[in-house]
Every structure is written in C-alpha cells, then in structure tokens.
Chains A and B, each alone.
Chain A
Amino acid sequence: MRKILWWQQMVYQLLLLAVGLFALLPVWGMLRIALDGAIKGAPTEFRLWPEEFTLAVFQHVWENPSQTLSIPGLLKNSMIVAGGAAIFSVVFGASMAYAFARFRFPGRKTGLFALLVGAMLPPVALMTPLYVLLSALGLRTSLLGLMIVYAAFSMVFCIWSMRASFQAVPLELEEASYLDGATHWVTFLKVSLPLALPSIAVAALLAFLLGYTEFAIGWLFVESSDNVTMAMAVSGMMRQSGAEWGNLSALALLMSIPVVIIFMILYRYLMRGMLAGRLED
C-alpha cells in the first residue's frame, strides 16, 4: 500500500471533520441548552457556548421531572416494564428458537417466514388489538399490561435472533454431548445455552431498549401517574406547552445516557453477526 501524502491527509481529515460536525451538531445543540442556566423558556439568541455554564438544570430536572414520580421512580418503572419484557421474551422464546435452529420439522419454513414477518412488524401493528384485549382483561393501565405489550413487540424479534445464535453453536459440540449419553435437554442447558449466551444477552438488551425508549404507546395505555416511565416523562414534557427548553433537554439527555453507554460497549457485538446475515437494529 502506498503511503498517503500530507495534503491528501488534510483533505481526508477535513471531510471526516465535516461528517463529524454533522454527527455532533445536534448533540451539542441540546447539551448547550441543558448546560445554560441563563435560558428562561426558549433560547432567544444564537450562541455556540452556554452563557452561564451550570449543572443546575440537570439537578433541577433530577429533583423535579414534572411528573408525580421522581427520576428514580420513573427509572424503576422503566426497568420493570422494559426489563420485564426483555426477560419474558428471552425466557419464553429460547426453546422455540432452539427448535427452529436444530430440528427439521414440517412447517419449519413457513414458521420461519412468519417469524421474519413478525420481527419486521412495527409496534403499532399490534397496538390496536392489544389495547382492546388488555382493556377487556382489565390489565391495560397496569405496569404488567405495559410489560406484556412491550414483550409482544419484541418477542418475535428475540426468537428470530436467538435462533441464529443457536445455529452458530458448532454442531460437533452438541453431538459430542449426545455421545456422552446426555439428553437433548441437558445438552441444551449445558452446551448450547452457555455458548449462545452472549448473543442472547444482546437480543435481550435490544428488547430492553425498545421498551425503554417507547413513549407513544405507553401514554396511550397508561392512565395512572404512578405508572409513567422515563421515556414517557420526556415526551410528556415535550407535549407541555411552554415547557422550559433547558429542562426538556436535560431530561432527554439523562434518559439517553444509559442507552449510549450500552451501545458504546456493545457495538462490536451488534455488528458481529452482520456478515453472517443476522442483523439487529
């Protein structure tokens, strides 16, 4: 390979800088508003840097996210709903995913196609009937109800991606286990599951993120202010007329921080399956 010349290096760096600015511009725009103590209501003049640099806005929002619940309470609800949905999806879907990965039963291809279609459905496609059915059961407004809804959104996707992780486990290892006299069940627990665990964890995390960042359907279902989640609090403040831009920005950033951390740690994992044809989004 040729070395690149200094002026080429300059051109490349400038191009990369332009894209970098595009990527960072909105993030900084929001951060700047959240860090500026001088903004009352909406920002009135153009500024690249906060006029009065302070963390007070974050502190204020942490104590008062304009819901009846405090931030820990909101996060707890988010954890129950999104975490519950993720665990539910993985636990009840794992064995089905394994069956699709390892057995050649009649109807498998049709089933796979149905799973693929299901994995690609938008959440709204299930929202309409679930609203009516959960209302009829009296579960709609509870945290359990919302957890079921989010599980319904993510479960098919989880099965689809767990199937691929089980398929990636070398068949020889399972066969060796059978030769030692182990049953299917023992092989699954002792060999396949541990090997597929990292990818399963990724699937679960993606399911978690889906529930953690969801707000529109949450507001449709939830009625009690005790059951509001973090994302719902952000969108609730967004809908408020005359809300403080600083508070909204700070709350949205607070909500995003855990997600950003998870993604930064996981992105290599998320991309690993890509070329084998397995993708998450």
Chain B
Amino acid sequence: MMRRIFLWLAILCVVGLAWGLRLRALEQLPIDYDEDDYLGAAIHYAQALRERDLAEIINYDYNYEHPPLTKLAYGLAILPLTPASPIIERPSSAPIVSSLPEPHFQTARKLSIILGTLQVLVLALIDPLAGLLLAINTWQIKYTSQIMLEPLPSLTSILAVILYIKSGRRWNVWLFLSALALGITVAAKFPYGIVGVAIAVHWLMEEYPAQERLKGLKLIRWLAPVAGFAILAAITFFATNPRLWTDPLSRLGAAITFHGDYATSDYVRGAGLPPWQPFVWLFQSVPWHPGVFLVSMDVLITLMAILGYKQMWERQRVFALWLVIALGFLLVWPTKWPQYILILTVPLSLASAYGFRASIWQPLVNWIKRDKHHTRARIAGSPLKIGWQELRKALPWLIPGLVVLGFITVYPMVFQGAMALTDFGSSAIRDGLSGGVWRETWKGFSGQVEPVTAAFFQRSMSKEVHYAGTTLLRQLIGGAAADYLVFGILWTFLAIASQTALGVSVALLLDRAGVLFKGWWRAIYILPWAIPEFVGGLMWAQIFDPRFGWFNQAGKTWYETADYPGAANFITQWQSNPTYALLVLLITATWCGFPFMMLAASAGLKLIPVDLHDAAEIDGAGGWKKFRFVIWPLLVPLLLPAVIIRAIFSFNQFYLFLVLEPPFPLATFSVTSFFFFDQLGQYGASAAINIFTILVLIALILWFNQWSKAAEGYTYA
C-alpha cells in the first residue's frame, strides 16, 4: 500500500516537473523556424472550421508535405479565440519571423505542452524514472513547447506501443485502440510511423513458429494478423487525414516525393551535417537557448541508455526495437534536423532508466554495503600495520620515480587543472608565465573574484589571466564538444572493427596448415606496423591526393569516359566531405593497425589446441561454423587486450589526422586540443579539453574493466 502511494507520488512529481519545465520553455523560447508555417495553417483551418467549409479543409495545400492533422489540432485549439489575420505564406527555408499574432501563439503553444506533458505521464506510468528522464530532456522540452508537428505524434506513438503491449496481441479493444493510435501517429507526422515498424517486427518475432518450416497456410497464419493490424492503422490514417479524402494516391505521392526531394536538396546538403549527426544531437543539450532549460543532463541520459540497452532488450523488447529501428532510420535518412530525434526519445529514456538503475544506483547500494563490511574487518585485524611496514620497505624504491614523475607529469597535470579554470589565452601569455594562473585560481577559490565566462572559439583579448570557474568544463560536459565526442566514439569503434576484421582474417588464413610462403607473407604484412604512423599517413595522402595522387591518375580516364561522377566526386571532394574523408581515414587506419591485430590473433590461435579443430571437424562443423562456434569464442578473450590497446590508441589518434587534414567535425580530442592551443591560442580551452579527455579515458578504462575479466587481467597483470 505504501509502495503504491509512493509510486503515485513519484509519478505526480514527474508530471509536475514536466509541466513546469515546459511552461517555462513556452514563455521563454523565442519564435522558431516553422512556427509561423504551422500557426498560419492553424489560423486558416480555424477560419474554415468556423465557416464549416469542409472543401477548404480538404483542399488547403500550403505546407502539403506534412499531413494536416496536427495543424488541424492547433486550429481547434485557437478556434474559441477571436479570428486572427492570416499569416503570409513563405517557403519553409525562409528566415524566422519576428512576431506572431497573440494570444493565438500562446494558446497553440499551450496545446503543445499539454500533449508533451501527457506523453511524460504515459511513460511515467510504465516507469517513473524513464518519465523523469523524458521530462528533463531538453530536446523533448524544446520541441513539445513550440508550435511544432512533434507533440501530437510523440504522444500517440507511445500510446500505440503501450496499447499494443496491453493487448497481448489478441484481438481485443486494446489492439483496436493501438491500431487507431498508430494511424493517428502517421497522420500527425510521417516519420513517427517508425513505431509501427517496431510493433510489426516485434509481433512477427514473438509469433514466429519454432521448429517448423513456414509454408502455405502456416505462413499466412503468421503474417495475416500483422497485416490486419496494418490495414486497420491505414484506414485510421486515411480517416484522420482530410487532405486524402479526394484524390488520395496522388496527394500522398506528392507529399512523399516532396520529402525525398527535400532530403537531397541543396538546402539540406548545404547544412553540411554528417550522417552520424543524430548522435551529435543526442550527445548534447539544446545549445541555442541558454538559461531556458534548468537541467541539461542529455549527455548522461544518452550514455546511460547505451549501458541500459541490453536490459531493455530483455525486458521491453518492443521499446528496444523501436529505439534501434528509429536510430537506423535517422542515420540513413539524409535530412538531419534536430527535431527528428524526438521519434526515439521515449525508448531512449526507458533504456536510460535501466542504465541508471544498473550502473549508478546498484553499484552505489553495493558500495555502501561493502564499505560497512570493510570498516568492521579493519577494526578486527591489523592488516594496516603490515601495510605500513611494506610501505616503508617500498619507499626508497619509489622515491626516485615519484620525484621525477612529480615534476614532469603530476605537477603539470595539476597546473593543467588550474589552467582549465581560467580564460588563459595567448594574449595573456606574459601574465600566465609569471604565475597568473595560480594567482587567479587562488583568488577564485578564496572567493575574491567572481568567475568571468569563458567560451570555446571565443578568445580572450585581455593581457591578464582571469578566473573563469568551471564554465569551460561545464560546457564540455553539457555537450559543447558533442561533435568531437560522437566522432571520437564512432571513429574508435569503426577503426577497431576494420582493423580487427582484417587482422583476424589474415591470421586465420595464415593459420591453415599447408599454406605456402607463410613467413614471406607475414613479413610483408608487418611492414605497415613498422612504418611510423605519420609517414604511413603521408603515403596514403599522396595516393589519395585529389590532383596528383595515384588514385586520381589511374581512374581519371575511366571515370571521365564512363561518365561515373561518384568516383570523381570521391577523389576530388574527400577533403571537404565528412563521409568520404572518414572512408579515407579508415582505409589508412586499417592499413596502420591490422598488422598488430594479425600478430595478436596469430599468437592467440597458436594457443587453441589442435584437438579442438579435429573434434569440431568430426562433429561435422566445417568452415564458418567451426570458426563461429569453436574458434571465435576461444579467441575473443585472447584478443581482447589487443583490442583495448588499439581502441585507446584510436581514441587518441593524432598524427594521422594532422597529416590527412580531414574536414570538421572529423577530429579526435587530441587534435581538437592541439588546434585550440596552436591555431586559436586558447590555452585554457585546450587544458579543459585535456582534462575532459582524461575523464573520458578513466571512464573507458573502468568500463573495460567491468566489462570483461580479460581486461582486468591486462590492468593488474
């Protein structure tokens, strides 16, 4: 009983918080792109409703690319108000307008926050913590507090999923309501239909008949219910989409074609956002409205979602599918506007809630319990005394190293920490060299001065160092470096994957008995490892040079005569196109890194007993099966230390980037820090990035340790 009361209290608090944050955003957020379009449409629809002019509702074609349901809803919301004068219709790429009619603007926004808060309520009913995380997500707050298309489909998409779960896939009222919600979702904004895909995939997965071959009737029995559900949703979609009541197919076609054309238009391309941009949005808080959102924990939410995903996959499969399918869609779809991520904030928050409980709450509880245990043990015995004796023995051995390290690494690190708290820049170098950094941090700590605000890309012109407090570090944690953080993670992952794949493949080939010239091949493969990284980078830079490179010279006649612009674009534009540049970097990094992985895998393969190969072959496992189920599981733990080493190395990769000079945002933290120091002369910012790098590295090492015993072996071997 008490539990229930607490639960309801928690839900109430979450909803209250969501409402408060959204109300604040409603009042403080400036007018944004598209708000004039949607409010204009709403005013038009309100007029048509007032005049009971159905034909106008059906045929009104401004902003036809988006279905009218959400705009109609806004129209209904402002219907009771005195009619407003129509807003001039402009193309969607036009600049932001300066004012919109009141009180219609406020009223329409109020509908947004009502829908947005209801969405939080629904999620909080399944999981209050997830509801809380959705309530404080700044992207969610922004786009459900403005006149956008997002609030309505956000709400109905979660309803569709929850009703589907509640129905248990039986044909009851819940299932009908779920199909209804799904239809409305698509009629409110197309991309949100992705939940329908998630539901269908989940349904088919759950009902997949085990151990039977799907034929004829069985196949139909498996697919038919899902198809029925889809038809029901489609009927709702057409029913709630008045524009399609006449001439449905061509109008639907026109809307969809518009999105296809828009996605490949110069306007979208001109934004220059890389394919992985959705991750960049997820790894930062809304950067454009400082002070509006009271909490900015978006980075943490995303990180925890990564940690909690596996558990969500086990417990809430539909949401897990929703998250991964939506993410796939966002990565593939060329338009990368930030509001698109709202199609996955719900499953993201849920995954994050699992992550929080497993990675922060549980360890904390365990730690408190263990700590009690420890103090008791300490009082009981006297291992402490023996420890001090050991220390006295060890001290003379430690002293030379400690003294030297103290001077050349520890003190510089502490000094770097102090630098990160200032706006130290190249104009204040004289002051900084004569103790300005320590003076200012001391003043700051003792409260003698108020911190000034320091910012990245904004160099202080002062001749003196100033205390800036933690402004730089907080900006970094809040997502100022999201572009680099996301690229760093992506880069580490892709570089490791390609190096390991090639290295292990080659090691497997060389491991086969009877293959000739093994020694020769191995000697050739080691060569890239022996060549210094920056010389290797230079070699590839020469090959990929847009004008004089081998690649261009070899392919020029071919792609010019065969009229194949793709290849020409790749070779001439890779230095300015993030995707192409990433490919060139990956080829180079694979070349540099695969020998090391090959040697590691070869050494590992030697340790796998020959009997196992024979046993597997006797059991009839050949080729792929033998590798997948016999060799790979034994190889992974042997390979892991090498993978971790290369992962850290890739995360820190520096010289390769310096030589190949890829475009923004392709840079690791090392490169970024160097750039801020060398090019921009922002020493404080460079120090702050370094401190942040160290924090990320510590987190990575701790994570590796927790993740696998093999990593622990590496750490404390």
Which residues of A come within 8 Å of B, CB atoms?
1-4, 9, 12-13, 15-16, 19-20, 22-27, 29-30, 33, 42-46, 88, 92-93, 95-99, 103-107, 109, 112-113, 116-118, 120-133, 135-136, 148, 151-152, 155-156, 159, 164, 167, 184, 209, 212-213, 215-216, 220, 231, 234-235, 238, 245, 248-249, 252-253, 255-256, 259-260, 262-264, 267, 271, 274-279, 281
Q: Which of B589-604 contact A (CB under 8 A)?
A: 591, 595-596, 599-600, 603-604
Q: Which residues of B contact A156 (CB under 8 A)?
A: 405, 409
| CB atoms of A159 and B401 under 8 A apart | yes
Q: Which residues of A contact B413 (CB under 8 A)?
A: 126, 129
User: Pick the contact of B534 from A4, A130, A213 — CB < 8 Å?
Assistant: A213
A129 to B433, CA, bound (A): 11
Q: Which residues of A contact B641 (CB under 8 A)?
A: 274, 277, 279
> Nearest chain A CB to B687's CB is how many angstroms away?
5
Q: Which residues of B contact A252 (CB under 8 A)?
A: 535, 538-539
> Nearest chain A CB to B615's CB is how many angstroms away?
13
| CB atoms of B412 and A133 under 8 A apart | yes
A220 to B675, CA, bound (A): 11
Greatest chain A CB density within 10 A among B437, B535, B596 is at B535
Would you call B550 an interface residue if the criterion is a C-beta within 8 Å of the partner chain's C-beta atoms? yes
Q: Which residues of A contact B645 (CB under 8 A)?
A: 279, 281
> Nearest chain B CB to A261's CB is how many angstroms away?
8
| CB atoms of A259 and B387 under 8 A apart | no
| CB atoms of A132 and B670 under 8 A apart | no
Q: Which residues of A contact B638 (CB under 8 A)?
A: 275
| CB atoms of A216 and B535 under 8 A apart | no
A235 to B599, CA, bound (A): 30
Q: Is the interface of B mostly helix, strand, loop or mixed?
A: helix
Interface digits, B601-625 against A, CB 8 Å rule (1 contact, 0 not)? Answer: 0011001001001100000000000
A23 to B553, CA, bound (A): 20
Knowing A124-B673, A215-B534 touch, does A106 contact B701 (C-beta < 8 A)? no
| CB atoms of B686 and A128 under 8 A apart | yes
Would you call B457 an interface residue if the criterion is a C-beta within 8 Å of the partner chain's C-beta atoms? no
Query: What 16 additional pairs, Cβ within 8 angstroms, besides A16-B521, A96-B397, A264-B530?
Result: A12-B512, A22-B591, A23-B527, A24-B524, A27-B539, A99-B397, A105-B391, A124-B690, A125-B670, A125-B694, A155-B409, A156-B409, A213-B532, A255-B535, A279-B641, A281-B596
Would you call B642 an interface residue if the criterion is a C-beta within 8 Å of the partner chain's C-beta atoms? yes
| CB atoms of A105 and B387 under 8 A apart | yes
> Nearest chain B CB to A19's CB is how many angstroms away?
6
| CB atoms of B535 and A125 under 8 A apart | no
| CB atoms of B524 and A277 under 8 A apart | no
Would you call B516 an interface residue if the criterion is a C-beta within 8 Å of the partner chain's C-beta atoms? yes
Would you call B714 an interface residue if the criterion is a C-beta within 8 Å of the partner chain's C-beta atoms? yes
A139 to B530, CA, bound (A): 32
Would you call B224 an interface residue if the criterion is a C-beta within 8 Å of the partner chain's C-beta atoms? no
Knowing A9-B515, A132-B683 touch, does A117 contact B701 (C-beta < 8 A)? yes
User: Pick the contact of A275 from B540, B550, B604 — CB < 8 Å?
Assistant: B604
Q: Which residues of B contact A2 (CB under 8 A)?
A: 513
Greatest chain B CB density within 10 A among A23, A26, A277 is at A26
Knowing A103-B390, A256-B535 touch, does A271 contact B600 (C-beta < 8 A)? yes
User: Pick the contact of A92 from B404, B534, B540, B595 — CB < 8 Å?
Assistant: B404
Greatest chain A CB density within 10 A among B412, B713, B714 is at B412
Q: Which residues of A contact B642 (CB under 8 A)?
A: 274, 279
Interface size bracket, B side = 35 or more
| CB atoms of B416 and A260 under 8 A apart | no
| CB atoms of B432 and A105 under 8 A apart | no
> Nearest chain A CB to B529's CB is how many angstroms away?
7
A164 to B715, CA, bound (A): 11
> Nearest chain B CB to A230's CB is how many angstroms away?
10
A107 to B409, CA, bound (A): 19
Would you call B652 an interface residue if the criterion is a C-beta within 8 Å of the partner chain's C-beta atoms? yes
Which single residue of chain B is at the shortest CB-CB distance from A95?
A: B397
Give 29 CB contacts A-B under 8 Å: A4-B515, A9-B516, A29-B550, A42-B545, A96-B405, A99-B398, A99-B401, A103-B397, A104-B387, A113-B701, A117-B698, A118-B409, A124-B690, A125-B670, A126-B413, A128-B416, A129-B416, A132-B415, A152-B408, A156-B409, A209-B532, A213-B533, A216-B655, A216-B658, A248-B538, A256-B535, A262-B530, A263-B529, A279-B642
Would you call B531 an interface residue if the criterion is a C-beta within 8 Å of the partner chain's C-beta atoms? yes
| CB atoms of B654 and A123 under 8 A apart | yes
Q: Which residues of B contact A277 (CB under 8 A)?
A: 641, 710, 713-714, 717
> Nearest chain A CB to B469's CB is how many angstroms away?
19
> Nearest chain B CB to A184's CB is how many angstroms away?
8
| CB atoms of B405 and A155 under 8 A apart | yes
| CB atoms of B697 and A121 under 8 A apart | yes
Would you call B536 an interface residue if the criterion is a C-beta within 8 Å of the partner chain's C-beta atoms? yes
| CB atoms of A25 and B646 under 8 A apart | no
Q: Which of B635-650 contact A (CB under 8 A)?
A: 638, 641-642, 645-646, 648-649
Which single residue of chain A is at the shortest CB-CB distance from B712?
A: A277
Interface digits, B500-536 against A, CB 8 Å rule (1 contact, 0 not)? Answer: 0010001001101111110001011111111111111
Q: How many A-B residue pairs have CB under 8 A?
A: 288
Knowing A128-B416, A152-B408 touch, does A106 contact B694 (C-beta < 8 A)? no
Q: Which residues of A contact B530 (CB under 8 A)?
A: 259-260, 262-264, 267
| CB atoms of A106 and B433 under 8 A apart | no
Q: Which residues of B contact A117 (CB under 8 A)?
A: 694, 697-698, 701
> Nearest chain A CB to B348's CB is how many angstroms away?
30
| CB atoms of B514 and A4 under 8 A apart | yes
Q: Which residues of A contact B516 (CB under 8 A)?
A: 9, 13
> Nearest chain B CB to A251's CB is how many angstroms away?
10
Interface digits, B309-328 against A, CB 8 Å rule (1 contact, 0 not)? Answer: 00000000000000000000
Q: Which residues of A contact B701 (CB under 8 A)?
A: 113, 116-117, 120
Would you call B548 an interface residue if the criterion is a C-beta within 8 Å of the partner chain's C-beta atoms? yes
> Nearest chain B CB to A250's CB is how many angstroms away?
12
> Nearest chain A CB to B521's CB is how many angstroms away?
5
Which single residue of chain A is at the shortest CB-CB distance from B411?
A: A133
Q: Which residues of B contact A99 (CB under 8 A)?
A: 394, 397-398, 401
| CB atoms of B513 and A20 under 8 A apart | no
A88 to B540, CA, bound (A): 35
Q: Which residues of B contact A184 (CB under 8 A)?
A: 393
Q: Which residues of B contact A33 (CB under 8 A)?
A: 542
| CB atoms of B677 and A259 under 8 A apart | no
| CB atoms of B591 and A46 under 8 A apart | no
> Nearest chain A CB to B229's CB is how many angstroms away?
48
A95 to B525, CA, bound (A): 37
A97 to B595, CA, bound (A): 29
User: Pick the contact of A30 from B419, B429, B538 — CB < 8 Å?
Assistant: B538
